């Protein structure tokens, strides 16, 4: 029998809006008792005094690059980074090589996950075959095989008819969409936000309208078809306004933001060079303010990280040739603490809802996202006060492409339990 | 008894329940009559029937041809020859040319909805709609109703689930209208992309998933799935269609012993229906063909002698 007892922590219960001082007893992967002063001599003890204990964080947007690009990341290195980052579940985007667009590939991925993964890794499947935007995938069969959502992440679905049809069709299977919004015709070869930086540095501009216009189309489609649609990595102020308007119309639409879009603006490219080259591009301070306001007002209900590991070769040299993306999985939580807790955009309870309860609800994970008896013992423990410096060369992720090197951050995850097993303790990976 | 008062058969929409009853009564008699051999009637001897098919059809055309011949009619078929008839003429002029052939009845199938109604306004024949676009296919609905009636189904205690491509189906429209006029309940199910919004206007109800629709049904009516619909992006693949929307032996809610199976043909075995179910004991699919011949005899006779 495998028992773990978490002592003296401050428990965060997002599902009931409560914070309490108590112990948590876990037995065989399930939370069995939440009370003060639990004693159990057989249980392994975690002393969580001074720490926050809550349901494990769930990240709706990561790239673990398997199959095909294991140089950048793989399921093992990615899941180690997740554990370090306090994430107990992640959703992998399907833009691998080959793209995850068939039930067979889902089955393959799930068998690899069973073999190597340290965290719960859920696969998303492609919306269109080969991510080509031409024909829809077998979404019913994909769901039966284990796909949790549909996404052509990396690009938008350009063909309106295709998206309209598949959204209509998806209702039969209750499959949610995760959309990456960028109109390629407008974006062209755009590299950075259109504005003073693109002018000053002479990089091709990627205007906000590329994101906003296609998002507007897809909000209309979602509203009209009744599909469940999530917009990932919002970056513009206007997209938040659009989202709110359609939410008020009753559309089943939601969104997430990444930590880098909250902490860095487009000027960062001057400083960090291609390490700050990302899609969508970093925007203006005014956008950041509206994104934060959107979080505060409950319009944006999910925090994801778009963990996009690359080799340094992919990021070096010619800025225009450098890959888009930031590796951030193991520092996403302290980054969010800096972006949202430090300036009181949200409190810890709300923080935990955005990172655990709401993403669990979106993915339909009934046994996750809550700290309660009977739930899966996926638990993250955070030390809210101790500051550490970000050291990118110590990342367990293969992706060292990260502009936050040297930042002093607080709110680091110190322990991570998955299905009742301690995978990280005292900030160290077990085993 | 209601008196028949239609010159044309343009759609089920124009008929009352009683009028449908007249045709079913007569159709049922002809269905019995068909069992004798040799057979042949002179009821419509000397009358001329033109079969005018702008859209490919074998079974409906042959069925009308045989129906006419069994009643003693002379039957002329126009199919592929049409292109040589019109030679650049307008559709209306082609029709007016046909009018000079002095036939008595014209069976027409056309890919455009509304053509039978249009030509009925100026052609001197009895017009019988053998399928117009996505609007109506009245003789198909009548033969389906006749098949159900002869199987002993009480229309007032009957629920029919029509499953598949409702969007493009004139069969679904006509059948639903007919069933409602006789007091039955109609359920539609299939991929949401193939179920048009506004379908409720026909009196049927949309039920998802297919398992639920089948559970409530006394008759499961499958529609033919055309491969082009996949190419046009209405559903992702034949495999997926078969897995989720087809009638299968192991489909939840489908009790092989209790439900009747129907299909307008031609059947795609293994696509919209398991091959083994096509000839199952409770399948009425073959009987539908014979009822089709009988009901078309009834329609021709009723229109020409009473209409």
How far lies B202's CA from each of A244, B175, B262, in Å? 37, 10, 20
Question: Percent of chain B at pLDDT above 70?
Answer: 97
Which of A169, A224, A227 to mutate against chain B (most B CBs within 10 Å)?
A169
Based on the residue annotation, tell me whether A306 is a catalytic residue of this protein: yes
Which of B189, B237, B252 to mutate against chain A (most A CBs within 10 Å)?
B237
| The predicted structure's pLDDT at residue A1 | 59
HSE (side-chain half, CA atoms, 13 Å) at B75: 20
DSSP letters, A346-412, are S-HHHHHIIIIIHHHHHHT-TTSS--STTSB--EEEEEEEEEEE--GGG-SSS----TTTT-EEEEE
Say how far apart CA A29 and CA A104 lie, in whole Å.
29
Instruction: Identify all chain B residues contacting A174, using CB atoms and an 8 Å cutoff.
Output: none
Q: How confident is the model at residue B1 (pLDDT cuts 50, 70, 90)?
A: low
CB contact under 8 A, A140 and B244: yes
Q: How confident is the model at residue B93 (pLDDT cuts 50, 70, 90)?
A: confident
Average pLDDT, stretch B55-73?
94
| The predicted structure's pLDDT at residue B3 | 86
Maximal C-alpha separation, chain B: 57
Q: Choose among B208, B236, B243: nearest Cβ to A136.
A: B236
A126 at B interface, C-beta within 8 A = no
A132 at B interface, C-beta within 8 A = no
| The predicted structure's pLDDT at residue A159 | 97
A19 at B interface, C-beta within 8 A = no
Average pLDDT, stretch B119-147?
97
Indicate if the pLDDT at residue B281 is higher than 70: yes
| The predicted structure's pLDDT at residue A289 | 98
Question: Percent of chain A at pLDDT above 70?
Answer: 100
Residue A59's φ and ψ, nearest 5 degrees, are -110, 115
CB contact under 8 A, B233 and A161: yes
Residue in A345, A343, A369 with CA at minimum distance from that of residue A358: A369
Place of tokens 């990240």: A59
Indicate if the pLDDT at residue B58 is higher than 90: no
CB B146 within 8 Å of CB B295: yes
Written in H, E and C, the secondary structure of A145-193 is HCCCEECCCCCCCCCHHHHHHHHHHHCCCCCCEEECCCCHHHHCCCCEE
Instruction: List CB contacts of B23: < 8 A, sequence separation 6 or more.
Output: B142, B295, B298, B299, B302
CB contact under 8 A, B233 and A141: no
CA distance A155 to chain B (A): 20
Helices within A235-284 (DSSP H only): 237-248, 259-263, 268-272
The angle at the Cα of A342, spanning A340 to A285, to the nearest 5 degrees, equals: 55
A27-40 pLDDT, tens per residue?
999 999 999 999 99
Say how far apart CA B140 and CA B146 lie, in whole Å.
10
Structure-token pair, residue B46: 């000397």
A172-231 pLDDT, tens per residue?
999 999 999 999 999 999 999 999 999 999 999 999 999 999 999 999 999 999 999 999
Instruction: Identify all chain A residues contacting B235, using CB atoms and an 8 Å cutoff.
Output: 136, 169
Rounded to 10 deg, the angle between the A208-225 and A237-248 helix axes is: 10
Indicate if the pLDDT at residue B83 is higher than 80: no
β-strands B105-110, A149-150 pairing: unpaired
Say how far apart CA B42 and CA A181 lie, in whole Å.
71
Q: How confident is the model at residue B119 (pLDDT cuts 50, 70, 90)?
A: very high
CB contact under 8 A, B236 and A172: no
> Mean pLDDT, chain A, as a whole number?
97
Instruction: Identify all chain A residues contacting B165, using CB atoms and an 8 Å cutoff.
Output: none
Given A306, A314, A378, A383, which residue is catalytic?
A: A306
CB A11 within 8 Å of CB A38: no
CB A125 within 8 Å of CB A173: no
Instruction: Identify all chain A residues contacting B208, using CB atoms and an 8 Å cutoff.
Output: 171-172
Say how far apart CA B177 and CA B140 lie, in whole Å.
12
A409-422 pLDDT, tens per residue?
999 999 999 999 99
Structure-token pair, residue A5: 């007892």
Residue B81's φ and ψ, nearest 5 degrees, are -70, -10
Burial B258-274 (b: 16+ CB within 10 A, else e): ebbbbbbbebbeebbbb
Q: Choose among A140, A166, A169: nearest Cβ to B243.
A: A140
- Chain A, chain B: beta-carbon pairs less than 8 Å apart: 40
β-strands A52-55, B126-132 pairing: unpaired
CA distance B233 to chain A (A): 7
Q: How confident is the model at residue B57 (pLDDT cuts 50, 70, 90)?
A: confident
Q: Which residue of A has its CA nearest to B210?
A: A172
Taking the model in full, what pTM does it have?
0.94
Residue B165's φ and ψ, nearest 5 degrees, are -85, 80
């Amino acid at each position: 029998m495998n028992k773990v007892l978490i002592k003296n922590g401050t428990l965060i219960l997002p599902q009931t809006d409560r914070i309490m001082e108590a112990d948590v007893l876990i037995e065989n992967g399930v939370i069995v008792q939440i009370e003060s002063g639990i004693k159990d001599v057989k249980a392994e003890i975690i002393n969580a005094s001074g720490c926050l204990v809550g349901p494990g964080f769930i990240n709706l947007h990561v790239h673990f690059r398997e199959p095909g690009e294991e140089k950048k990341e793989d399921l093992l290195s990615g899941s180690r980074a997740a554990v370090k980052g306090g994430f107990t579940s992640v959703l992998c985007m399907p833009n691998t090589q080959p793209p995850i667009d068939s039930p067979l590939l889902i089955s393959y991925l799930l068998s690899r996950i069973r073999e190597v993964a340290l965290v719960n890794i859920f696969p998303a499947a492609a919306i269109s075959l080969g991510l080509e935007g031409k024909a829809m995938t077998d979404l019913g069969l994909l769901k039966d095989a284990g796909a949790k959502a549909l996404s052509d992440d990396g690009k938008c679905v350009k063909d309106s008819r295709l998206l309209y049809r598949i959204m209509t069709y998806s209702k039969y299977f209750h499959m949610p969409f995760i959309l990456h919004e960028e109109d390629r015709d407008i974006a062209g070869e755009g590299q950075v936000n259109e504005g003073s930086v693109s002018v000053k540095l002479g990089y091709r501009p990627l205007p906000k309208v590329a994101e906003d216009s296609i998002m507007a189309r897809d909000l209309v489609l979602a509203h009209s078809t009744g599909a469940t649609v999530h917009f990932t990595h919002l970056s513009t102020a206007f997209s938040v306004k659009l989202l709110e308007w359609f939410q008020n119309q009753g559309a089943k639409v939601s969104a997430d933001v990444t930590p880098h879009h909250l902490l860095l603006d487009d000027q960062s490219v001057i400083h960090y060079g291609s390490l700050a080259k990302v899609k969508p591009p970093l925007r203006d301070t005014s956008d950041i303010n509206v994104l934060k306001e959107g979080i505060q007002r409950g319009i944006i209900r999910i925090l994801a990280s778009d963990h996009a590991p690359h080799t340094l070769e992919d990021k070096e040299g010619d800025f225009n040739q450098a890959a888009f993306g930031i590796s951030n999985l193991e520092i996403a939580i302290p980054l969010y603490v800096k972006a949202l807790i430090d300036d009181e955009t949200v409190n810890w309870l709300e923080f935990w809802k955005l990172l655990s309860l709401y993403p669990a609800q979106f993915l339909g994970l009934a046994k996750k996202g809550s700290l309660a008896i009977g739930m899966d013992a996926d638990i993250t423990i955070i030390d809210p006060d101790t500051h550490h410096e970000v050291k990118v060369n110590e990342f367990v992720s293969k992706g060292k492409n990260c502009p936050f090197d040297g930042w002093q951050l607080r709110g680091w995850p110190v322990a991570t339990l998955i299905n009742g097993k301690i995978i990280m303790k005292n900030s160290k990976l077990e085993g | 008894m209601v008196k028949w008062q239609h010159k044309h058969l343009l759609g089920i929409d124009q008929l009352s329940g009683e009028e449908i009853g007249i045709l079913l009564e007569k159709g049922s008699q002809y269905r019995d009559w068909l069992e004798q051999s040799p057979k042949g009637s002179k009821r419509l001897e000397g009358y001329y029937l033109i079969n005018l098919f702008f859209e490919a059809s074998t079974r409906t055309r042959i069925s009308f041809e045989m129906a006419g011949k069994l009643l003693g009619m002379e039957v002329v078929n126009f199919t592929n020859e049409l292109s040589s008839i019109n030679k650049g003429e307008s559709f209306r002029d082609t029709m007016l040319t046909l009018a000079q052939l002095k036939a008595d009845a014209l069976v027409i199938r056309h890919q455009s909805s509304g053509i039978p109604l249009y030509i009925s306004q100026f052609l001197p024949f009895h017009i019988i709609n053998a399928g117009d676009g996505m609007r109506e296919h009245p003789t198909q609905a009548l033969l389906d109703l006749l098949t159900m009636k002869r199987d002993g189904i009480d229309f007032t205690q009957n629920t029919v689930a029509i499953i598949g491509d409702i969007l493009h189906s004139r069969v679904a429209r006509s059948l639903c209208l007919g069933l409602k006029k006789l007091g039955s309940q109609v359920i539609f199910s299939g991929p949401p992309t193939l179920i048009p919004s506004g379908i409720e206007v026909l009196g049927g109800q949309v039920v998802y998933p297919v398992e639920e629709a089948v559970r409530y049904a006394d008759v499961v009516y499958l529609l033919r799935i055309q491969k082009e619909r996949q190419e046009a992006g209405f559903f992702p693949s034949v495999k997926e269609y078969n897995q989720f929307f087809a009638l299968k032996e192991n489909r939840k809610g489908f009790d092989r012993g209790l439900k009747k199976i129907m299909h307008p043909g031609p059947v795609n075995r293994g696509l919209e229906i398991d091959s083994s179910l096509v000839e199952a004991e409770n399948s009425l699919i073959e009987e539908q063909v014979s009822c089709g011949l009988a009901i078309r005899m009834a329609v021709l006779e009723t229109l020409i002698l009473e209409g």
